[in-house]
Structure 1
Amino acid sequence: MYEIDLNLPKQIVADVLSNHEIHSVAFVGCGASMSDLYPAKYFLANNTDKLNVQIFTANEFNYDTPSWVNEHTFVITCSLGGSTPETVEANKTAKKHNCPVVSLTNKAGSALTVDADYVIVHGFHANFAAKCEKPGYAIALAVEILQQTEGYDHYEDMITGLTNVFELCENAAQSCKKLAKKFAEDFKDDKMIYFMASGASEKMAYSHAAFLFTEMQWIDAAAYNTGEYFHGPFEVSTEGKPYVFFMSDGATRPMDARALTFLERMGAKVALIDSKDYGLADAVPASVVTYFNPLLHLAVMREYGNQIAEARQHPLTMRRYMWKLSY
């Protein structure tokens, strides 16, 4: 069974709260790691009655540190390899302001861990479920912060979701290979691809547009929230225009359905990744299903990414500048 250690976030939060009265929570990272923190931020911000909850790209946190960052601010940072300079510096910034810091990374003993009070080492390389551990642990921390500071009526439902979702993500990614191959064949020659999503999955659309496609495939891409689509971006939706569409189950699904209906009406070329098609609601209680869409979308899109990289003969590790130049 694929799962994470849910006792670890619980213990970390309890320890932090034994030494600090928390008024604010700051999620800090760069690139895909910042996007992986967004579902946790979305959950906590939408359910707290007391906490100030914000998310930052790391250097913004460093150069324009908010006035409220102090010993009452719980800082959660994230870097896959633990060496992102801006995020490493964000830990130093947080410690200068006496904040408790927990860092998520795939690499124990990395630079990110030096100034962290607590470290969660997550999986990544083993399988698709492991690739969902980073946002999963961030959500688990957010759930525990909410439960232990003010209580949460659907706490047990969130724990059920966090227990079941990784198995679902692995199965979904393994089952989508035929669709992913078709996507790769249909989209491999496009020069610009649009991503759309809503709710907790908004930054998954942004992340895959900016990093999986722009960074790793050198394909121009843009991402839109489906709620913003009809306030400008729909003007370029014409026949054959390529879209990757993350459709959510839960609260924001009506927004997605409206946008998808218009895209289909205009004859756009749409690769639809719908959480309902992969049985998200069978694994996660309906009361909290809204918050688990990003993990499922992430897992399935990773296989789509693998397939388009193969179809284009452009490995996901190929870079023009990264790892080659100083910048």
Structure 2
Amino acid sequence: MKNGIEKIADKISKDGYKNIFFIASGGSWVVSQTFEYYWKQHSSIPVFNEIAAEYVLSNNKQVTRDSIVILQSKSGDTTETVKAAQMLKEKNIRTIGIVRKGDSPLANSVTYPIVENVVNLDGSDPENVAMIFLLFRLLYNQNEFAQYDKLVKSLENLPQALVSVRKQADKFAEDFSNNFYQEEYQMWVGGGSLTGKTYSFAMCVLEEMLWIKTKSIHTAEFFHGSFEVLDEDTCCVLVKGEDVTRSIGERVEKFMEKIGSKKFSVIDTKDYKLEGIDDDFREIFGQMIVTGVVDRISVYLERDRDHSLDTRRYYRVMDY
């Protein structure tokens, strides 16, 4: 997978581009926010993150033949994302599609399909390895990320490292579920490079899979309204990372301690060892650490709530 992605990135770099767009839906869209964040930290080339359903109805003049558009869909058949890819194809705009299924509508609609087929040693999803190869290779080609080869070396150790994170997180996850599985409303707060991961867990797992009413809140926006609905018995989780926005999360943590919250928890990526991963890249892999922790929380919530993560009432069940 690495060599194929590098060839795509090198071809795009050689041809040139003036901006990058991420276009996706649901969890794929919100996780793209993480990579939008990274790109802005490293590059002066403009980057945009669009919801597919809105893009197909709009006339975004920033998307031109000088753009590179990256579309994601694990299934490869997300209706709105596929439609966006087909529209872009008609306009002769270069597209990259990251999917899990090579023979899928999205893969067949883009200029450069990438099939992400990496899994952890325990069979779980390491999440967005293809995107890391792609974006940081582009940055490397622009002389905006000199550590690319060093990053690739760390990626070789990622599967084992993420299994280790899950093991480290297991007791916290089980305790969290034991204490809060009956809570019917939760607040999840995260920011910076973890904004998308916090949002996606709240929406795609707690709401979609477990039917728990949940609000995800950006740490910087927490003090602009959301904290007024808190009391000492509100279940609230802070997702705290290691990027430059860490101090904003710490401000939330201090406030929760000040009001004496009885149901406040913190997931701090700093608490988890990443074996074989260079410390220079902990920020890049922060969302994967959080994934490892919340994946274990999901397992125990599924057990304690007696609610299968595969059960849906509406999503892909009925026509909507």
Give the equivalent residue in structure 2 for 1:56. 50
Alignment TM-score, normalising by the size of structure 1: 0.90
Look up the match of 1:197.
190
Structure 1 pair 128/238, CA: closer, same or farther in 2 (3 Å)? farther
Residues 281 and 316 (structure 1), Cα distance of their counterparts in 2 relative to 1, 3 Å cut = same
Matching of residues 201-280 of structure 1 within 5 Å: 201-268=194-261, 269-280=263-274
Q: Does 1:42 align with 2:37?
A: yes
Task: Name the counterpart of 1:324.
Answer: 317
Identify if the C-alpha distance between structure 1 residues 128 and 242 changes in structure 2 by more than 3 Å, giving closer, same or farther.
farther
The one-character-per-residue Cα deviations of 1:254-289 (angstroms, maximum 9, x if unpaired) are 111111121122222123221111124972333x43
1:178 equivalent in alignment to 2:174:
no
Q: Which residue matches 1:169?
A: 162
Provide closer, same or farther for how the CA distance between residues 191 and 165 of structure 1 changes in structure 2, counting only shifts above 3 A.
same
Percent identity over the alignment?
24
1:17 — aligned with what?
A: 13
Ranges in structure 1 where 5+ consecutive residues have no aligned partner = none
**Residues 192 and 243 of structure 2 are in contact (CA less than 8 Å); yes or no, is this contact kept in structure 1?**
no
Q: 1:77 aligns with which of 67, 71, 76?
A: 71
Contact kept, 8 Å, 2:21 with 2:68, in 1: the verdict is: yes
Question: What CA deviation, in whole Å up to 9, does each residue of 1:45-78 have, x standing for no partner?
Answer: 22112x1101111111211141021221111111
Q: Does 1:301 align with 2:291?
A: no
Runs of 4+ in 1 over 4 A off after TM superposition: 124-130
- Aligned partners of 2:97 and 2:202: how far apart in 1? 25
Q: Find the aligned partners of 1:116 and 1:100 in 2 and give their Cα distance.
A: 8
Secondary structure of 1:87's match?
A: helix
Matched position secondary structure for 2:233: coil
Counterpart CA distance in 2 for 1:167 and 1:17 is 32
2:23 paired with 1:28: yes
Per the TM alignment, residue 290 of structure 1 is displaced from its structure 2 partner at its CA by 2.5
1:146-198 Cα deviation digits (max 9, x unpaired): 22134324434543443444432221113322221111111111111111111
Conservation of the 8 A alpha-carbon contact between 2:197 and 2:291: yes
Partner of 1:7: 3
Aligned length: 319
Higher helix share: 1
**What SS does the aligned partner of 1:243 have?**
strand
CA distance in 2, matches of 1:10, 1:125: 19
Q: Distance in 1 between matches of 2:135 and 2:114?
A: 14
Aligned positions of 1:116-135 closer than 5 A: 116-123=110-117, 130-133=124-127, 135=128
- Alignment partner of 1:112 is 2:110: no
TM-score (norm 2): 0.92
Distance 1:86 1:118 in 2: 19
1:151 pairs with one of 144, 161, 165: 144
Partners in 2 of 1:155 and 1:126 — Cα distance?
22
Quote how far apart the aligned CAs of 1:319 are: 0.6
Map Cα deviations across residues 84-140 of structure 1 (whole Å, 9 max, x no partner).
01111111122122221111111120111111122222247766674223x222122
Relative distance call for 1:197 and 1:260 in structure 2 (3 A) is: same
Tell me, in whole angstroms, the C-alpha distance in 2 between the residues paired with 1:126 and 1:169.
Answer: 7
